[in-house]
A and B are shown apart, each in its own frame.
Chain A
Amino acid sequence: MIDILAPLKFKPTRNYSLTGPERQRALDDGLANAEWYQTPIDRKVLKELMKRKDGPALRDTAIWLGLLVATGAGGVYFWGTWWALPFFVVYGVLYGTSSDSRWHESLHGTPFRTDWMNNWLYNLASFMQIWNPVIWRWSHMRHHTDTTVVGRDPEIGTMRPPQMILMALNLIGLTSVPRNLMTLSRHALGRFTPDERDFTPAAELPKAANVARIHMAIHLTVWLSCLYWWTLLPALLIGLPRAYGVWFLLFIGLPQHAGLAEDVLDHRLNSRTILLPAPVRFLYWNMNYHVEHHMFPMVPYHALPRLHAAIRHDCPRAKGWWETWVQLLPVMIRQVRDHKYYIHQQLPPGAGAPKSGPRALH
């Protein structure tokens, strides 16, 4: 009998668990907490790039929140007519796509010089993402320590073989949003998976449970408001945009690591920089400069274009969005059948020797 649900069942070929056999292999092979390749850069230049300012992020956050309010108000004003649609399309992208980069940058504490502003934005964007801010902070630290090291990195977004149908469903958050809500509910009950316990200190778990309870209370209030007034409008403004507005994020964010090497100690080989036009870089807060971000995570988003210019001689040629997907999509389709296949990033002549690591054949 043909199992028609087989493509939906998640069966990664390798064991991506943080508590499974790959964890020990990563430790044995020296891939955990390892020294990574860094492009040599003059210390004074780097210090200048790392310098913190409040101005750019205050300006960009005001524009972002202003656009959210304006498009949300437009959607409410025209609610019940087709004119509401374009407002919600833009509102959804500003909410469901842009909150990802705001979450990410503020987690690193780099957008603002004044740290409470970083923490404020981090908590807001985490809520918009339907992510637990405590758990995801620790998860992302591990992602930076052991980027795409199988058995160590909890944020490998495209495990092999790629789950193409799941990715297609998640263009409108069909599985990711229910999963995020279920995860938050589980945290609110004080339950954490072995993987979460692996990268989060035990002392942080009560805090994670409390934050989850607050977030879930807000989501429940929104849904009860929908029932009380018998309209979808409150959920279209809070919560659901993470579903109907996330599609753009997949197009610009999935190439960060997809189709590239696992288990290497060189971000030039497992991360990808793509070139995007300025309006899209505003939506994404320059996270398209992903090799640069991973190699030097202390450089704020507004300085990443300058960092790109300073180190591109040592990195794979950055492609545009279309050229990236023309290369990437066939590779992902091939990986469905051949999970060992991946893109070997080509370094330019004169670049530093790649640091492939002992498991580069995977």
Chain B
Amino acid sequence: MPLTPATALDDVDGDDVIRWDHGGRTSAIYRTKGDAVFAADGLCTHEHVHLADGLLQGHLIEYPKHNGRFDIRHGAPKRAPDRVALKTYPARVVAGRIEIDVPE
């Protein structure tokens, strides 16, 4: 099944995250130090805070205002105040571009 082309791999620094808005949905795209890519919903499940403004530490994204944390591999909440998992989407790199399996 074709995935949706999102952005160039070079648009995301290693060990960092960017915001990606597509089809009325806001997402966050992650690139780890080891160049693995992940994608998930862009807003925290506690309140309306964008994860792309946060800090990626290994596989944990910590986001502003509340300092909650999610594991970007499967979206599990790892630090209060978050208790509800983040929705994640399959992501891969094809010819230098990140593709994501997001619902249209």
Contacts and interface: CB of A to CB of B under 8 A. Distances in A.
B47 A33 contact: yes
B66 A144 contact: yes
A94 to B, nearest CB: 26
Interface string B38-80: 0000000011110000110100001111110100000000011
Interface residues of B, number: 19
Contacts of B79: 109, 115
B61 to A, nearest CB: 11
A298 B67 CA distance: 7
Nearest to A201: B83
Given A33-B48, A137-B81, A145 B57 contact: no
Given A296-B64, A297-B64, A298-B55, 5 more contacts: A47-B55, A109-B79, A110-B67, A298-B54, A298-B64
Contacts of A115: 79
A138 interface: yes
9 contacts: A33-B47, A51-B55, A115-B79, A137-B81, A141-B46, A144-B66, A297-B64, A298-B55, A298-B63
Interface of A: 33-34, 43, 47, 50-52, 108-110, 115, 137-138, 141, 144-145, 201, 203, 296-298
- Across chains A and B, which 6 residue pairs bring their CB atoms closest together, nearest first? A33-B48, A144-B65, A50-B55, A109-B67, A141-B66, A108-B67
Contacts of A138: 81
Contacts of A296: 64
Nearest to A34: B48
Contacts of B101: none
Nearest to A295: B64
Given A33-B48, A47-B55, A52-B57, A297 B81 contact: no
B47 A145 contact: yes
A326 B83 CA distance: 45
A109 B55 CA distance: 12
Q: Which of B57, B64, B69 has the most CB of A within 10 A?
A: B64
Interface of B: 16, 46-49, 54-55, 57, 62-67, 69, 79-81, 83
Contacts of B47: 33, 141, 145
Contacts of A203: 83
Interface of B is mostly: loop
B33 to A, nearest CB: 13
A96 to B, nearest CB: 25
A47 B16 contact: yes
A296 to B, nearest CB: 7
Contacts of B67: 108-110, 297-298
Contacts of B62: 109, 298
Contacts of B49: 145
A110 B66 CA distance: 11
Given A108-B67, A296-B64, A298-B67, A137 B80 contact: yes
Nearest to A36: B65
B57 A297 contact: no
Nearest to A145: B47
Contacts of A297: 64-67
- Which of A51, A108, A141, A203: most chain B Cβ within 10 A? A141
A201 B63 CA distance: 20
Of the candidates B57, B63, B81, the one having the most CB atoms from chain A within 10 angstroms of its own CB is B81
Contacts of A109: 62, 67, 69, 79
A43 B18 CA distance: 11
A228 to B, nearest CB: 38
A52 B16 CA distance: 15
A145 B65 contact: yes
A296 B64 CA distance: 7
A201 B84 CA distance: 12
A296 B49 CA distance: 12
